[in-house]
Structure 1
Amino acid sequence: MSAYTRLLLACVSLASLVGCSDPQQDSNIRSRGFVYCGQDTPATFNPQLTDGGLTADTLAAQIFDRLLLLDPVSHQPTPALASNWTISEDGLAYTFELRKGIAFQTTPWFTPTREFNAQDVAFSFSRVINPNHPYHAVSGGRYPWFDSQGFANLIEEIEILDPYTVRFNLKRPDNAFLANMATTYAVIHSAEYASSLLRAGKPDQIDRKPIGTGPFALYSYQPNDFVRLKRHPGYWQGQAEMEQVVFDIASRGTGSLAKLLSGECDVLSSPVASQLPVISDNDNYELNAQTGMNVAFLALDTNQPELKDVRVRQAINHAINRENLLNSVYYGTGTKARSLLPPMSWAYNHNSQALDYDPERAQALLKEAGYEKNLMLSLWVPLEPRPYNPSPRKTAELIQADLNAIGVKVNIITQDSVRRFSTIDKANSDLILAGWIADNGDPDNFLRPLLSCDAKQAGLNVANWCNLDFENLLELASRTTKLDQRLDFYHVAQDILDKEVPIVPLAHGVHFQVHHRSLSGLQMSPFGTRSFSTVYRNEN
């Protein structure tokens, strides 16, 4: 059954989030919108509560705006809801001037009575950092990305200076602050909507039925089936070209490539590398590629007794044949990773002493550690293809074979989709196949969320590794005003990772996206987020 048919049936049965329009009016959905395939079911519509997935990667850019955006080329912050900003000389105060005349979305469940202002900014971030805020504990009270950054410990106070001026006072200088404010997690909610829900005793509705200022508003949602967005006619940058966007999130039936080729989908995100020749040979589709700020890696749970020994971790790193991974999984489209940071990062250490493929050295290290023939490990694998890893199962099987060659037996445990901070059974997973798509161009965005002590507490640091020397280098890099010093700090931090091996970097992937040639205006970003406000159909 196609996404179009399911959408119509959902409207007729009233099974969706809210009432749909007359099915007769939806018969020409293709001329009024498009269907996007290749994503998982969202657990929430509030990206503040996630560490990735459909909500953070794609939905948030449609429903919400942020104070700042990131230039896809320079990776520098640019104005969005904030028209400009100033920074105090001591680097402790960031003052944002907000745009006027920006309307929130009107939906069947809420009609705003005022435009966006400083109250909305204060609410959106106070909820995250203040444990006494009435919304802090709503929907579980976990903000994994912000927690991994130590965001609550960074912000001293959020001041509303006037209705269109807001100031963030920091406890210490932080060079990554502006870049972090431009990430997909730093979205702006409606404080007025939040207040009305609180009075009605339904505060959790803010995360299930969101209100933002973005180009599209949530209209209907069928779990494990589809998400439907309708354009926001009052969008401050001009209403979107397309009337609606439907996200096909159904896991049953035919695969996403088959849906694309049969016309059920117009856009396919992150096709598997082995599918690229089929797509390239079809004149009806256009394949685009974006060199991604991403990395696939193997996390080694340093809480596990065997993996506390650095020699065992080094042995695992030596055992993995990355060239084989590139050929068999990425089909030559990826780049071998020697660091968490991709080569395009300005802080990448080109003189890295990272351990290379050397199975003989791996066996010697295991023998030194007393695990010559008796080491057995479990490997947890999320099966969902991602830009940094187009085929996780195949990656896991190759790693399994590499480790078996040095005498380490690996039991693969699979799961459809892994959310690092909630679903991994830490007691039964020694190795975790994971990855990261940068939220901004700052090197801190790779190192801190994945390996800092705060990230360990938040659950994003699945290696469970906390190293004070590494932590201090991150802090020094965040405080210094001299770029050359900051670069030195990051290089030394990478040297520590090369030696301690809490994670094994595997590859940097290329993000592919394919769409029907009748669509134009689709944009790609190295950070995985992009607005669909410019998409239009150039033929019926």
Structure 2
Amino acid sequence: MSAYTRLLLACFGLFSLIGCSEPHQDSNIRSRGFVYCGQDTPTTFNPQLIDGGLTADTLAAQIFDRLLLLDPISHQPLPSLARSWSVSDDGLEYTFNLRKGIEFQTTDWFKPTRQLNAQDVVFSFKRIIEPSHLFNKVSGGRYPWFESQGFSSLVDNIEVVDSHTVKFTLSRPDNAFLSNLATTYAVIHSQEYAQNLLKTGKLQQLDMKPIGTGPFSLAQYLPNDLIRLVRHWGYWQGAAPMEQVVFDISSRGTGTLAKLLSKECDVLSSPVASQLPVISNSEEFELIAQTGMNVAFVALNNSKTELKDPRVRKAINLAINRENLLNSVYYGTGTKAKSILPPMSWAYNHNSKALDYDPEKSLALLKQAGFDKNLRLTMWVPLEPRPYNPSPRKTAELIQADLNAVGVQLTILSQDTLSRLNTTATTNSDMVLTGWIADNGDPDNFLRPLLSCSAKSAGLNVANWCDLGFDNLLELASRTTKLEQRVNYYHLAQDILDTEVPIIPLAHGVHFQVHHQSLGGLQMSPFGTRSFSSVYRSE
């Protein structure tokens, strides 16, 4: 059943969040909106509570705004809800001047009586950093991305200066602070809406029936089926050309490529690499690509006895043939990863001495460690294609064959999607096949959330690795204002990773997106987020 048909059926009251338009009007959805295909079912609509997935990658940019945005080329912060900002000489105080006239969305469950002001910004961040905040423990009370950054210890206070001025006071200088406020996780909620929910006792509604200032508001959510967003007429940058966006999140029936070819979907994000020739040969669709700030990697669980030995970790790294992965999984579209940082990062160490493919040396290291063709490991593998890994199953099978060649028996454990907060997978498995899409252009955004000691406590560091020397280098890099020193600290941090091998970088992927030729204005970003505020249909 197509998304269009399901949308019509949903309009007759099947679990809808709000009422739909007349059926005959929704039958013309393609002239009034578009269908986006190929993502997972969200567990929340608040990106502050998660570490990735559809909400963080795509939905948040439609429903919410942030104080700042990132320039997709220079990776420098740009104004958004904050029209300007200033930083004190000691780097501890950041003052933001908010735009005036920013309207919150009106829905069937909330009608705002005021525009955005400084109280909304303070509410949105104090919820995260203050354990005593009335909303801090709501919806699980975990803020994994912020926890991995040590955000609560970094931010001493957030205060209202006046109705449209907010000041953040930090405990120490942090060069990545502005970039972090521009990430998809740093969204601004309505304090007025939260106060209304306190009166009714429905606090979790803040995260499942969101209110933001973005170009689209949530209208309907059918789990494992569809999500419908409708145009926010009061959007501060002008109402979007499209009246609605439907996300087809169903897993039953035909695959996403078949839905695209049969025109059940207008947009397909992250098509599998093997699908690209079929798409390229059709004149009906446009294929666009963005070199991504991403990395696919294998996390080695350093809490496991066998993997505590660096010789074993190095041996596994040496056994993996990355060139074979690029040819068989990425079809020549990816780049071999020597580091967790992509080559486009200004802190990338081009003189890295990272170990490369050498099965003979791998065998020798395993024998030294006492594993002469008798090592058995497990690897948890999510099956959902991602920009950094277009075919996780195939990747896992190739790694399995590589390890078998050096006498390591690898058992693959799989599921459709994998959250780094899934403690069953990350604690019980020896290895996890995963990856990362940068939220901003700062190298800290790769190194700290994935490998710092605070990230281990937060659950994002699935390698369960903590090195105080590595953490100290990240702290030094965040404090210095001299770029040359920052680069040096990050190079030293990468040297530690090359020596200790807590994770095995595999490849940097190219993010592909395909859409029907009648759609225009679709944007791509190296950070994975994209707004649909400028999308239009030409026919």
Which residue of the partner structure matches residue 377 of structure 2?
377
Opposite residue 113 of structure 1, the aligned amino acid is T
Is 1:507 equivalent to 2:501 in the alignment?
no
Q: Distance in 1 between matches of 2:142 and 2:251?
A: 27
1:28 is displaced (CA, Å) by 0.4
Q: Distance in 2 between matches of 1:38 and 1:424?
A: 26
Which residue of the partner structure matches residue 156 of structure 1?
156
Which residue of the partner structure matches residue 22 of structure 1?
22
1:291 is displaced (CA, Å) by 0.2
1:340-351 map, 5 Å? 340-351=340-351
1:314-329 map, 5 Å? 314-329=314-329
Which residue of the partner structure matches residue 189 of structure 1?
189
**1:314-342 residue CA offsets vs partner (Å, 9 max, x unmatched):** 00000000000000000000000000000
Q: Distance in 1 between matches of 2:184 and 2:252?
A: 29
Which residue of the partner structure matches residue 439 of structure 1?
439
Which residue of the partner structure matches residue 410 of structure 1?
410
Instruction: Check the 8 A contact 1:418/1:424 in 2, yes or no.
Output: no
Which residue of the partner structure matches residue 136 of structure 1?
136
**SS of aligned partner of 1:13:** coil
Is 1:312 equivalent to 2:323 in the alignment?
no
Which residue of the partner structure matches residue 526 of structure 1?
526
**SS of aligned partner of 1:505:** strand
Instruction: Check the 8 A contact 2:420/2:426 in 1, yes or no.
Output: no
1:38 is displaced (CA, Å) by 1.0
1:10 is displaced (CA, Å) by 1.1
**Cα distance change of structure 1 residues 239 and 173 upon mapping to structure 2, 3 Å threshold:** same
Instruction: Check the 8 A contact 1:81/1:99 in 2, yes or no.
Output: yes
Instruction: Check the 8 A contact 2:85/2:97 in 1, yes or no.
Output: yes
Which residue of the partner structure matches residue 267 of structure 1?
267
Instruction: Check the 8 A contact 1:87/1:94 in 2, yes or no.
Output: yes
1:98 is displaced (CA, Å) by 0.3
Instruction: Check the 8 A contact 1:61/1:214 in 2, yes or no.
Output: yes
Which residue of the partner structure matches residue 295 of structure 1?
295
Instruction: Check the 8 A contact 1:179/1:442 in 2, yes or no.
Output: yes
**SS of aligned partner of 1:84:** strand
Instruction: Check the 8 A contact 2:301/2:427 in 1, yes or no.
Output: no
Q: Distance in 2 between matches of 1:427 and 1:166?
A: 40
Q: How big is the alpha-carbon RMSD for the aligned residues of Structure 1 and Structure 2?
A: 0.6
**Cα distance change of structure 1 residues 464 and 423 upon mapping to structure 2, 3 Å threshold:** closer
1:481-520 map, 5 Å? 481-520=481-520
Instruction: Check the 8 A contact 1:14/1:20 in 2, yes or no.
Output: no
**Cα distance change of structure 1 residues 149 and 393 upon mapping to structure 2, 3 Å threshold:** same
**1:345-381 residue CA offsets vs partner (Å, 9 max, x unmatched):** 0000000000010000001000010011211000100
Which residue of the partner structure matches residue 94 of structure 1?
94
Which residue of the partner structure matches residue 422 of structure 2?
422
Extract structure 1 runs of 4+ deviating beyond 2 A: 422-428
**1:185-238 residue CA offsets vs partner (Å, 9 max, x unmatched):** 000000000000011100000000000000000000000000000000000000
**1:457-493 residue CA offsets vs partner (Å, 9 max, x unmatched):** 0100000000000000000000001100000000000
Q: Distance in 1 between matches of 2:460 and 2:127?
A: 20
**SS of aligned partner of 1:347:** coil
Opposite residue 275 of structure 1, the aligned amino acid is Q
Opposite residue 472 of structure 1, the aligned amino acid is N
**SS of aligned partner of 1:425:** helix
Which residue of the partner structure matches residue 35 of structure 2?
35
1:419 is displaced (CA, Å) by 0.5
Is 1:113 equivalent to 2:102 in the alignment?
no
Which residue of the partner structure matches residue 468 of structure 1?
468
**1:31-73 residue CA offsets vs partner (Å, 9 max, x unmatched):** 0000000111011000000100000000000000000000000
Q: Distance in 2 between matches of 1:49 and 1:495?
A: 32
Q: Distance in 2 between matches of 1:424 and 1:491?
A: 33
Q: Distance in 1 between matches of 2:263 and 2:407?
A: 48
Q: Distance in 2 between matches of 1:372 and 1:183?
A: 46
Which residue of the partner structure matches residue 11 of structure 2?
11
1:423 is displaced (CA, Å) by 5.1
Which residue of the partner structure matches residue 146 of structure 2?
146
Which residue of the partner structure matches residue 477 of structure 1?
477
Opposite residue 409 of structure 1, the aligned amino acid is Q
Instruction: Check the 8 A contact 1:18/1:219 in 2, yes or no.
Output: yes
Which residue of the partner structure matches residue 247 of structure 1?
247
1:428 is displaced (CA, Å) by 2.6
Q: Distance in 1 between matches of 2:253 and 2:456?
A: 38
**1:85-141 residue CA offsets vs partner (Å, 9 max, x unmatched):** 000000000000000000000000000000000000000000011110000000000
TM-score (normalizing by structure 2):
0.99
**SS of aligned partner of 1:203:** coil
Instruction: Check the 8 A contact 2:374/2:408 in 1, yes or no.
Output: yes
**SS of aligned partner of 1:495:** helix
Instruction: Check the 8 A contact 2:299/2:431 in 1, yes or no.
Output: yes
Q: Distance in 2 between matches of 1:13 and 1:144?
A: 35
Q: Distance in 2 between matches of 1:16 and 1:353?
A: 56
Instruction: Check the 8 A contact 2:426/2:432 in 1, yes or no.
Output: no
Q: Distance in 2 between matches of 1:225 and 1:245?
A: 14
Q: Distance in 2 between matches of 1:448 and 1:8?
A: 45
Instruction: Check the 8 A contact 2:362/2:406 in 1, yes or no.
Output: yes
1:15 is displaced (CA, Å) by 2.0
Q: Distance in 1 between matches of 2:110 and 2:68?
A: 26
**1:276-328 residue CA offsets vs partner (Å, 9 max, x unmatched):** 00000000000000000000000000000000000000000000000000000
Which residue of the partner structure matches residue 224 of structure 2?
224
1:16 is displaced (CA, Å) by 1.8
Instruction: Check the 8 A contact 1:389/1:509 in 2, yes or no.
Output: yes
Opposite residue 162 of structure 2, the aligned amino acid is D
1:427 is displaced (CA, Å) by 4.2
Which residue of the partner structure matches residue 172 of structure 1?
172
